[in-house]
Structure 1
Amino acid sequence: MDPNTIVLLVVVLLVALLAIRMPVALALALAGATGLALLQGTDFATNMLATEPFAQTNEFTLTIIPMFILMGVFAVRARIAEQVYAVASHLLRRLPGGLGVATVMACAGFAAVSGSSIGTAATMSRLSITEMRRAGYPESIAGALVAVAGTLGVLIPPSVFLVLYAIMTGESVAAMLAAGIVPGIISALAYATFIMAVAPKLVAKPGSADAPNLDSAVEAAAGGTGSESTRVTATATPTKLRDLEMRGLVRVALLFFIVLGGIYSGFFTPTESAAMGALVAAVMLILEFRRQGFATLYEKFTGALKETAGTTSMVFAIVVGSAILSKFFVTARLPQTATSSISALDFSPHLTIALLLLMLVPLGMALESISILVISVPLLYPIATSMGFDGVWLGILIVKLIEIGMVTPPVGINCYVVAGTSGVNVERIFRGVAPFVAIELAVVAVLFAFPELILWLPSLVR
């Protein structure tokens, strides 16, 4: 059978497996193994299945992933997000759209210690949406803002996405983490600027006819149960700064300094900095709940370890599955064929890469974000680097476009997470997301046109 036909069949099989909700790791591995069997025979395929999983996971660099995940889980359970949001809400309350801006800033701060987009969106939706609804924000805008700002978790370090990209391409983990800082700040400022611009027009004044009823907002956020987490969120914010718990800001800054400062000063390797961050986050958890007894601490720690184990297993399974699929692509000489075909077109290198990157947007409307990463990187990275583009620059653009996929229908995982944790209808969130998608595309265009915005910090650590 012709190799091009086999590649097409494998892609169709992969999309079909993902469409029927097969776990991503199994879908990647099964599609890749099928392609290897059709291309080289069953003996070759079974040999790859026997050796490739061990070869791909027998990498010391991968130990950074469970450490970052553990640090993020400890940070969530230590109430850091709640404390950061309360302080940000108080400090920014006088700005137009101040509560929305506070939500963006809290998402950015929490993303800096959690490394998870879904975790950031889930945590912040429980904390902020009821408060924004009470302040007069339309629930479509409130939900969309949390969903979009939550995507900062895959961009602002420590990001598991950036680490996976570095491992898949051989780029420096430290350089990739550094590269996410400036684009993350630009993205957060873009969201905040939009909210400040539209808030006077969209946000109803509390007590007006258009203002939402707090009781119904609380019940909706709780799914009609009046849960404890919602009751806490709906309580009045302290009016004086000294009444707020400032330790959340201090802890975010400390974790950020330990992880990134340790890496860029050369005092820690990336893996060591992740381990130190997890250790410090564990100490923060102990300090937060030390007065509630051993039973509470034990529950928090065991829950954190179980969650970390589950998430780490999922990530490593996807690494193995993507390695098998990538092996098929390499065996089929797909990167070389794609490079030759694209080079034959009479397009400039910048236009070529721009068109290839834009293809990630429709992919994001149908596929899960990690699937897009592991499918696109083996194809785009060789093409881009052969044309002279920087691999770190490419990685940030890929992650930014994956962010868009995380909030666009029909998959839009962050929108579903926010809907599930807040009670807001997911269709309303998708409607509210539209202007933020336009903002994201504008930010991508700026980063594409001015690569130094991405590459300045990595140049200091390479």
Structure 2
Amino acid sequence: MANADFIAVAGFVALFAMMALRVPIGVAMGLIGVGGFAAITGMKPALNLLAQSPIRVITDFNLSLIPFFVLMGVFATNSGMSRELFRAGHAWLGFLKGGMALSTIAACGGFAAICGSSVATAATMTKIALPEMRRVGYSNDVSSGVIAAGGTLGILIPPSVVLAVYAYITEQDVGKLFIAGIVPGGLAVLMYMATVRIAYGRSLPPGETFVLREAVASLRDVWAVLILFIAIIGSMYLGIATATEAAAVGSFLTAVIGVARGRLNLASIMDSLIEALRTSVAIYTILIGAVLFGYFLAITQTPQKITAFLVALDFGAYGTLALILAFFLIMGCILDAMAMIILLVPIVFPVITHLGFDPIWFGVIIVMTVELGLITPPVGMNVFVINTIAREVSLVTIFRGVLPFVMTDIVRLILLIVFPAIVLFLPMTMK
């Protein structure tokens, strides 16, 4: 085995050992990246790399959309938009059997359109929807399963922070990726609703009386979300603004709407800024580590060697794709969503391009695969978030409740692989 090959293997072993010891993923990747680079090229080039990479990441204009979208999500949460979405969803869907569960999924989809985070969506809707579903007779497994699954919409429906990170790593157009996520995200909402009726139909509480006046009145509370979504996604689709410009406008409009409606004051704005800063720093730390680790991958030629190995297996394009997705599903048992995208995509992306798959399509496919990791054991980040907020609901109960949605996600994933036009037709019409 060549020296570089040995260092590459040792680096990956050390990386997973550090992760097992709960070393933050960004720190672990950075240490292995610099250490491995130094082992091959010497200490001086490695130190130069360490000095330059953080500046490169922090000053990258394309990455500035991340803190803006994070801030927009925090403003939206603190101004109560999620509660209004749930109320409107219930006003229109509450008359159906299982209407409150359907309302929760609809609210998750709406909140995802202004939040961009799965964990934030799951946490917010747990506080709002779980008590209401219990009140009308939903079991803990159904109510928690609905919220855990609905929370996954946060990383698919644009604006998605995970899709933005994928775009940065693979040098793709983030605007096209956001537009590509719209139809699969809408499909996810509809299929989750169908899952509620099919999997839990007999045990669902009956619907409530439909009151048209209340339903129409509820629309007055969700106009802000519609304006934000249209302003952000519409401006990118029509070519009026870049993703970064749209993110800046979105965060500003969210703050203005919150202040105008009396939901945000100076103190809550400052709290929102601090919260967004903390989240953004955590993301940037991971990205800096990813850049350093990327140099390590490049100098050891790990992606090229993996590409050659997988191609030599001669499984065919879709057989190799299935192997990659299965690998992501397995890694989802030990890694969270952001870690999987940042750590694994640079390794498998050259394989995908070599096989001729569209990188925009693959971005949506891989994010959907990552979604599964958010609701499957043993990590299941959304499941742990719900359990942290609602301690009386056990992890086993939540995992049991979310199982039908896992099956739905697999069916949806297969559907988008067989029919890639579902993902690609909107980006192809962009100006």
TM-score range, shorter chain: over 0.9
Unaligned runs of 5+ in 2: none
Q: Distance in 2 between matches of 1:56 and 1:157?
A: 23
Matched, 1:280 2:253: yes
2:235 and 2:241 in contact (8 A); partners too: yes
Map 1:264-413 → 2, pairs under 5 A: 264-289=237-262, 297-413=265-381
- Tell me the residue number matched to 2:398: 429
Deviations 1:310-369 (A, max 9, x none): 111111111100111111111110111111112212211111112112210110111121
2:98 and 2:205 in contact (8 A); partners too: no
Q: Distance in 2 between matches of 1:376 and 1:54?
A: 23
After superposing the two structures, state which structure 1 stretch, 29-38 or 68-77, moved more.
29-38
Matched, 1:440 2:413: no
TM-score (norm. length: structure 2): 0.95
Q: Distance in 1 between matches of 2:418 and 2:218?
A: 41
Deviations 1:77-124 (A, max 9, x none): 111110110111121112222111111000000000111111111110
Q: Distance in 2 between matches of 1:145 and 1:452?
A: 28
Q: Which amino acid aligns with 1:3?
A: A
Q: Which amino acid aligns with 2:197?
A: M
The offset of 1:5, in angstroms, is 2.4
1:68 and 1:160 in contact (8 A); partners too: yes
Q: Which amino acid aligns with 2:48?
A: N
- Tell me the residue number matched to 1:48: 49
The offset of 1:460, in angstroms, is 1.3
Q: Distance in 1 between matches of 2:400 and 2:28?
A: 31
Map 1:10-29 → 2, pairs under 5 A: 10-29=11-30
Q: Distance in 2 between matches of 1:366 and 1:120?
A: 21
- Tell me the residue number matched to 2:80: 79
1:342 and 1:352 in contact (8 A); partners too: yes
In structure 2, do the counterparts of structure 1 residues 389 and 92 end up closer, same or farther at CA, with 3 Å as the change threshold? same
1:86 and 1:244 in contact (8 A); partners too: no
The offset of 1:47, in angstroms, is 2.1
Deviations 1:144-168 (A, max 9, x none): 2111110111000011111111111
- Tell me the residue number matched to 1:203: 204
- Runs of 4+ in structure 1 displaced over 4 angstroms? 237-240, 242-245
Q: Distance in 2 between matches of 1:152 and 1:187?
A: 8
Matched, 1:457 2:426: yes
Q: Distance in 2 between matches of 1:455 and 1:156?
A: 15
In structure 2, do the counterparts of structure 1 residues 153 and 320 end up closer, same or farther at CA, with 3 Å as the change threshold? same
The offset of 1:410, in angstroms, is 1.5
After superposing the two structures, state which structure 1 stretch, 147-156 or 6-15, moved more.
6-15
Matched, 1:257 2:206: no
In structure 2, do the counterparts of structure 1 residues 10 and 202 end up closer, same or farther at CA, with 3 Å as the change threshold? farther
Q: Distance in 2 between matches of 1:58 and 1:280?
A: 24
Q: Distance in 1 between matches of 2:413 and 2:4?
A: 34
Aligned sequence identity (%): 35
- Tell me the residue number matched to 1:220: none
The offset of 1:135, in angstroms, is 2.2
1:154 and 1:162 in contact (8 A); partners too: yes
Unaligned runs of 5+ in 1: 207-236, 291-295
Q: Distance in 1 between matches of 2:352 and 2:192?
A: 29
Q: Distance in 2 between matches of 1:420 and 1:245?
A: 31
Q: Distance in 1 between matches of 2:125 and 2:205?
A: 22
Q: Distance in 2 between matches of 1:461 and 1:165?
A: 20
Q: Distance in 1 between matches of 2:160 and 2:121?
A: 12
1:95 and 1:196 in contact (8 A); partners too: no
After superposing the two structures, state which structure 1 stretch, 252-261 or 352-361, moved more.
352-361
Q: Distance in 1 between matches of 2:27 and 2:240?
A: 39
The offset of 1:243, in angstroms, is 8.7
In structure 2, do the counterparts of structure 1 residues 420 and 243 end up closer, same or farther at CA, with 3 Å as the change threshold? farther
Q: Which amino acid aligns with 1:259?
A: I
The offset of 1:188, in angstroms, is 1.1
Q: Which amino acid aligns with 2:331?
A: L
1:144 and 1:432 in contact (8 A); partners too: yes
TM-score (norm. length: structure 1): 0.89
The offset of 1:246, in angstroms, is 3.1
Q: Which amino acid aligns with 1:283?
A: V
SS in 1 for 2:172: coil
Q: Which amino acid aligns with 1:389?
A: F
- Tell me the residue number matched to 1:34: 35
2:37 and 2:46 in contact (8 A); partners too: yes
